[in-house]
Amino acid sequence: MSRRRNSEEVKKGAPEWMNTYGDMVTLLLTFFIMLFAMSTIDVQKFEQIIHSIQGSLGVNYGGTSVSKDKLATEGQEDYPDLQDFVKNINSPGGMSEVLKEAQDMEKIYFQVKAYIDKNNLGDSVEITRDKPGLLIRFKDNVLFDSGKADLKEDSKKILKYIAGMLNEFTQDIRVEGHTDNVPIHTPQFPSNWELSTQRAVNVLKYFIEENGFNPVRLSAVGYGEYHPVADNSTEAGRRQNRRVDIVILKTYVADEISSEKGDNKANEQR
């Protein structure tokens, strides 16, 4: 007597109810994405989400991504303060403008860095990433002789390259003059205030007069001896403090400077 075979056919794949369940989950996900896109981002919640995701992936806050692919949070490393990053996402330009500015900043950084390396200028010029933006630092007497504010002829080649390159972008630029704490008393420069300010102004004027820079994008400030980066009690420290910084400003920094002055006109210099 042969065994009775089970004639019931076993269906392959997931049960039919899974199709309906999958459709429902997809619709719910789409609905919440739509709500998220229509809303503004809460800074604290966004920060918690970022920390949570990074913790789950085993990535330290501020570390590099585990993937080389461009993620939705691309550009965040260019905004060390997360609140500033989120504020820009919620700005009228939105995420696309934040990403474009991050890409522009990276292009500027690597172009200037390549120029410095190619011309062996590492001992006299450097570029670093900073919260306000990118900082190009001319050390000691690269641009000016001691106690003077006239641009040195051999320094104009460097400034010409940087001005021409920056002219291809749209970021605002601030030129900062700094001195050491050694007093100066001359008819032209009664103090380090005048010396540092005139140096910054002369760099600014070179950008405008010799390189066709739009004056609206430029500003100059003299800090005198009051923003040292090293100890003024040593000669090595004083050499570091004698400097001119060109700061390529991120958009949110430029906007804050403008708002602090109550200036909402785009054609007025910051």
Q: Which letter, b or e, does each residue of 147-183 get, where b requires 16 or more Cβ atoms within 10 Å of its Cβ?
A: ebbebeeebeebbeebbeebeeeebbbbbbbbbbeee
Instruction: Give the pLDDT confidence score for residue 101 in this predicted structure.
Output: 86
Cβ atoms of 127 and 113 within 8 Å: the answer is yes
Domain-located, residue 98:
yes
- Do 144 and 197 reside in the same domain of the chain? yes
- Do 122 and 244 reside in the same domain of the chain? yes
- Do 125 and 180 reside in the same domain of the chain? yes
Give the separation between CA 116 and CA 101, rounded to whole angstroms: 22
Domain-located, residue 26:
yes
- Do 47 and 181 reside in the same domain of the chain? no
- Do 243 and 141 reside in the same domain of the chain? yes
Residues 177-220 have pLDDT tens digits of 999 999 999 999 999 999 999 999 999 999 999 999 999 999 99
Instruction: Give the pLDDT confidence score for residue 30 in this predicted structure.
Output: 81
Residues 72-124 have pLDDT tens digits of 444 445 445 555 655 555 555 556 777 888 889 999 999 999 999 999 999 99
- Do 34 and 147 reside in the same domain of the chain? no
Domain-located, residue 53:
yes
Instruction: Give the pLDDT confidence score for residue 95 in this predicted structure.
Output: 62
Question: What kind and span of H or E run contains 184?
Answer: none
- Do 52 and 109 reside in the same domain of the chain? no
pTM of the full predicted structure?
0.64
Report the Cα 245 to chain-centroid distance in Å.
15
Give the separation between CA 261 and CA 270, rounded to whole angstroms: 8
Domain containing 49: what range?
17-60
Low-confidence winner among 63-72, 112-121, 239-248 (lowest mean pLDDT): 63-72
